[in-house]
């Protein structure tokens, strides 16, 4: 991808959301740090529900130390890996009190020494709390950077380095937010919403979702049950040639989008048999639904 295209991508994402904000509710660097640690492998929504009550009783390192691990657990028990996270939150609070005078440190080295804080979390805190132009690479940013061709890389560290290299300075402060929100709501994992994507003409992903599957993509985005299911293994590209059941044309061209293949296949079966499968009910929308949805979104 060339520099002009990259610039256009950021310009469009900025135009759609000029002042992006973290979706983790927080009122101080310390609250943000705790929310970020709790958000590993959890949704921002689930973290916000937990911290709404937690921060009323403990929103400083001193109060968290006083609350202790056993006192903290009931507030965060709805979040995955909560026991480990409770230990980390109390331990990092102790360290902030002991070594940083009760203030969240601003530098990467100190942040990464805190229990439960890795490079990605440090990047988020430095960017959101202290306005540093860091680019945290989570699963959404990693996917968008690779799919679009914006800054491909084999792991998050490589994507981060490449993004820092190719992102024009004026976009660097908000790049993380634009990319994460784009990945979370438009370029979703299993069936990206390409027909309504603001950068569809710039994105270099070869297997874009066709317009006819937009209602399915919308359903994917809205149904956590569907989102949470691991994709089935991809069928080998030569499965049809070897005499196994053929796949629909869109899926046959999509070696890198097994989820899209599965959803499309399920939808087709549902339409043919007049039934739908669990959370994929929206797949059975009446003919013309795709057209209406697209029209509404313009
Ligand atoms: S066109 Fe599709 S694959 Fe490309 S960024 Fe948009 S949603 Fe993602």
| Residue 250 · residue 263 · CB < 8 Å | no
d(CA 131, CA 127): 5
> Which of 1, 144, 147 to probe ligand 1 with, by most ligand atoms within 8 A of CB?
147
Whether 283 is in the pocket of ligand 1, judged by its Cβ within 6 Å, is: no
Phi and psi based region of residue 288 (left: phi greater than 0; alpha: psi -120 to 50; beta: remaining)? left
- Please report the atom of ligand 1 found closest to the CA of residue 194: 2
- Span from the CA of 12 to the centroid of ligand 1 (angstroms): 13
Alpha helix (H) residue ranges in the chain: 3-16, 29-38, 44-57, 61-76, 82-100, 108-113, 119-128, 139-148, 156-166, 169-185, 214-222, 224-228, 249-252, 258-273, 289-297
| Residue 30 · residue 130 · CB < 8 Å | no
DSSP for 183-200, please give it. HHHTS-SSS--GGG-TTT
Whether 200 is in the pocket of ligand 1, judged by its Cβ within 6 Å, is: yes
d(CA 280, CA 266): 8
Q: Select the more confidently predicted residue: 211 or 130.
A: 130
Q: Per-domain residue ranges for the chain?
A: 1-185, 215-297
Stretch 61-90: mean pLDDT: 95
Stretch 84-98: mean pLDDT: 97
Residue nearest to atom 8 of ligand 1 (CA): 187
Stretch 12-22: mean pLDDT: 92
At 122-165, the pLDDT tens digits run 999 999 999 999 999 999 999 999 999 999 999 999 999 999 99
201 is annotated as an active-site residue: no
- Please report the atom of ligand 1 found closest to the CA of residue 199: 6
Q: Select the more confidently predicted residue: 254 or 31.
A: 31
Say what the pLDDT of residue 75 is: 96
Say what the pLDDT of residue 279 is: 31
Specify the pTM.
Answer: 0.71
43-47, 176-180, 226-230, 269-273: which has the minimum mean pLDDT?
Answer: 269-273
Count of all residues that appear for the chain in the document: 298
Say what the pLDDT of residue 228 is: 40
Tell me the pLDDT band of 170, cut-offs 50, 70 and 90: very high
- Please report the atom of ligand 1 found closest to the CA of residue 209: 2
Say what the pLDDT of residue 197 is: 94
- Span from the CA of 37 to the centroid of ligand 1 (angstroms): 29
d(CA 269, CA 276): 8
d(CA 10, CA 14): 6
229 is annotated as an active-site residue: no
Query: What share of the chain has pLDDT > 70, as a percent?
Result: 74
Say what the pLDDT of residue 222 is: 63
Annotation: CATH topology of 1-185: Endonuclease III; domain 1 (1.10.340)
Whether 203 is in the pocket of ligand 1, judged by its Cβ within 6 Å, is: yes
- Span from the CA of 251 to the centroid of ligand 1 (angstroms): 16
Query: What share of the chain has pLDDT > 90, as a percent?
Result: 67
At 230-268, the pLDDT tens digits run 333 333 333 333 333 333 333 333 333 334 444 444 433
Tell me the pLDDT band of 296, cut-offs 50, 70 and 90: very low
Does 120 have pLDDT greater than 70?
Answer: yes
Residue nearest to atom 2 of ligand 1 (CA): 194
Tell me the pLDDT band of 31, cut-offs 50, 70 and 90: very high
- Span from the CA of 269 to the centroid of ligand 1 (angstroms): 26
> Which of 9, 203, 204, 257 to probe ligand 1 with, by most ligand atoms within 8 A of CB?
203
Cβ–Cβ contacts within 10 Å for residue 45, how many? 12
């Amino acid at each position: 991808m060339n520099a002009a295209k990259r610039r256009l991508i950021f310009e469009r994402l900025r135009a759609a959301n000029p002042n992006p904000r973290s979706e983790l509710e927080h009122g101080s660097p310390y609250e943000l740090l705790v929310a970020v640690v709790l958000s590993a492998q959890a949704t921002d929504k689930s973290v916000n529900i937990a911290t709404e009550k937690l921060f009323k009783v403990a929103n400083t390192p001193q109060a968290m130390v006083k609350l202790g691990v056993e006192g903290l657990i009931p507030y965060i028990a709805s979040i995955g890996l909560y026991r480990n996270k409770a230990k980390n939150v109390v331990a990092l609070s102790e360290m902030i009190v002991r070594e940083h005078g009760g203030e969240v440190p601003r530098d990467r080295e100190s942040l990464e020494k805190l229990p439960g804080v890795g490079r990605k979390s440090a990047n988020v805190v430095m960017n959101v709390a202290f306005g540093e132009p860091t680019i945290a690479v989570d699963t959404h940013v990693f996917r968008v950077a690779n799919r679009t061709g914006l800054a491909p890389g084999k792991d998050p560290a490589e994507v981060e380095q490449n993004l820092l290299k190719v992102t024009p300075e004026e976009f660097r402060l908000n790049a993380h937010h634009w990319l994460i929100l784009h990945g979370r709501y438009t370029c979703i994992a299993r069936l990206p919403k390409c027909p309504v994507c603001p950068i569809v003409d710039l994105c270099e992903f070869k297997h874009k979702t066709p317009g006819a599957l937009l209602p399915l993509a919308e359903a994917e985005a809205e149904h956590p049950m569907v989102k949470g299911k691991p994709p089935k293994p991809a069928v080998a590209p030569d499965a049809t040639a070897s005499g196994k059941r053929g796949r629909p044309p869109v899926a046959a061209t999509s070696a890198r989008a097994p989820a899209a293949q599965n959803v499309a296949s399920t939808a087709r079966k549902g339409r043919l048999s007049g039934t739908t499968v669990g959370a994929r009910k929206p797949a059975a929308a009446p003919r013309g639904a795709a057209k209406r949805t697209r029209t509404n979104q313009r």
